[in-house]
Amino acid sequence: MSRPIARVLTLLELLQAGGIRTVAELADRLDVDERTVRRYVDHLIDLDVPVESVRGRYGGYRLASGYRMPPLMLSDDEALAVLLGLVAGRRAGLMTATGTASETAAAKIRRVLPERLGRRLDAVLGSVAFTAPPGEPTAPESAVLLAIADAVRHHRPIWIRYTAADGRRSERTLHPYGLVAHSGRWYVTGADPAVGEERTLRLDRIADARALPGAFEPPAGFDPAERVLTGLATVPYRHEVTVLVRGTAAEIRSRLPAGIAIVAESPSASDRKGDTTPWCRVELRVERLDWLPAVLASLDRPFVIERPDELRDLVVELADRLRRSARESPHRA
């Protein structure tokens, strides 16, 4: 590719990053004079690329709103980032109900890539492994996701049709504070003005969403992700577990993140040996206890089980199995 053509394409890449670029800035980035920059802009306009000239002290050039770059113009790094994002999003469940969209988008980009780059990207995608979220990912309808996202951004009330976990259907108004993607599911959290309480709802259970007139003001400092994860950690389950663990909250959360457990420092927990390491109270609500002994062992921290008693028995059983396995001779295996 000749240098003038390469610079014209580089100019297009700079403009598509968004915002207004001054002639002086573009000349410096392209290593040409300002007159040449204007000539390159004329080349783009001749190719029907909508470059707009902005006058004034802070004027320069920008691309017209809505212009879409063809995938052919992606650099190696950009193509890898886009394809990895599409593949990772699909495998993590972060997609809409139109699940084929990510596949067709990836296929379109892949088709227009040079053969050399295509082979390199295939090598990356063929060798990388993605961990999947637990359970089957559930995807919302594209129209629902877009409508709620717009309502969140502009602080607008929204009307929805919702089906609860027990199958009950309802129509309600929601003041949406934020969207959260977690473990292959999408959630919206906000206030239900009819009952004056906050709600966290799964998007895949929303059949329809429409913006309503008016506006609302979300509470200051509200963290949608924290609210969703805290809500998931406090959902009623068969067993309520409380364990005291010696260690900082950050150390324990690295193994038991929000959404699984509530971790809080416990100043009331006594330390018989005078160790200054804090104790934390860990609370979980789970359907089964059989996986918890291994998790507690992986913490590699002293712990005290407050409840339930069944968990103590399971921990003892795991310790006995490990002790027997450690004493087994390789010649008997």
pLDDT tens for residues 131-183?
Answer: 555 555 566 777 888 888 888 888 999 999 998 877 888 899 999 998 887 76
Pairing type for strands 158-163 and 279-286 reads: unpaired
Residue 260, domain member (yes or no): yes
- In this predicted model, what pLDDT tens digit does every residue of 193-233 receive, in sequence order? 888 888 888 888 898 999 899 999 988 888 888 888 777 66
Residue 108, domain member (yes or no): yes
Domain count, the chain: 4
Residues 110 and 151 in one domain: no
**What is the Cα–Cα distance from 14 to 62, expressed in whole angstroms?**
9
- Which of 189 and 333 is assigned the larger pLDDT? 189
Model confidence band, residue 1 (pLDDT cutoffs 50, 70, 90):
very low
Q: What is the pTM of this model?
A: 0.48
Cα 181 to Cα 185, 207, 233, 235, distances in angstroms: 6, 18, 15, 18
pLDDT at residue 71 tops 50: no
Name the residue range of residue 25's domain.
3-63
Residue 133, domain member (yes or no): no
Which ranges in the chain belong to alpha helices (H)?
3-16, 23-30, 34-46, 76-91, 100-112, 115-127, 142-154, 224-233, 249-253, 292-299, 309-327
Residue 233, domain member (yes or no): no
**What is the Cα–Cα distance from 216 to 99, expressed in whole angstroms?**
33
Residue 332, domain member (yes or no): no
Residues 200 and 177 in one domain: yes
**What is the Cα–Cα distance from 159 to 190, expressed in whole angstroms?**
12
Q: Calculate the average pLDDT of the chain.
A: 80
Paired strand residues for 173: 159
**What is the Cα–Cα distance from 333 to 329, expressed in whole angstroms?**
7
Residue 135, domain member (yes or no): no
Model confidence band, residue 115 (pLDDT cutoffs 50, 70, 90):
confident
Residue 112, domain member (yes or no): yes
Burial class (CB in 10 A: 0-12, 13-18, 19+), 150: middle
Residues 162 and 207 in one domain: yes
Residues 244 and 316 in one domain: yes
CATH code of residue 207:
2.30.30.520
Number of alpha carbons in the 13 Å side-chain half-sphere of residue 275:
13
CATH code of residue 8:
1.10.10.10
Q: 292 with 314: CB under 8 angstroms? A: yes
Residue 208, domain member (yes or no): yes
